[in-house]
Amino acid sequence: MIKCNKCGRELSVVNDIPREDFLQINKSWGYFSKKDGKNYKFVLCEKCCDDFVSTFEIPVDVEDNIELL
């Protein structure tokens, strides 16, 4: 089961295959952080990701994925 960490909504998964796309962060903090040795993992659904990036001072780089065309 995959849940969005921000809104808590359960993402739709059928036969272990996610039926909607989401952002997955897996960050291993290093020596120069205050979280050295800690591994952070979280998931954001597409809406929460959109809400998150809309708060950015510098917009996300968006490029067309040519391989999909």
Which of residues 6, 11, 22, 23 is near Zn ion by CB under 5 A? 6
For the bound state, the minimum distance from the C-beta of residue 1 to Zn ion, rounded and expressed in Å, comes to 14
Residues of this chain, 35-54, that bind Zn ion according to CB under 5 A: 45, 48
Beta carbon nearer to Zn ion, 21 or 36: 21
Q: Is the backbone of residue 49 left (phi > 0), alpha (psi -120 to 50) or beta? A: alpha
Euclidean distance between CA atoms 32 and 69, whole angstroms: 41
For the bound state, the minimum distance from the C-beta of residue 29 to Zn ion, rounded and expressed in Å, comes to 23
Provide the total of helices (H) and of strands (E) in the chain, helices listed first.
1, 4
The torsion angles phi and psi of 52, rounded to 5 degrees, stand at -65, -55
For the bound state, the minimum distance from the C-beta of residue 24 to Zn ion, rounded and expressed in Å, comes to 12
Q: What residue ranges bind Zn ion (CB under 5 A)? A: 4, 6-7, 45, 48
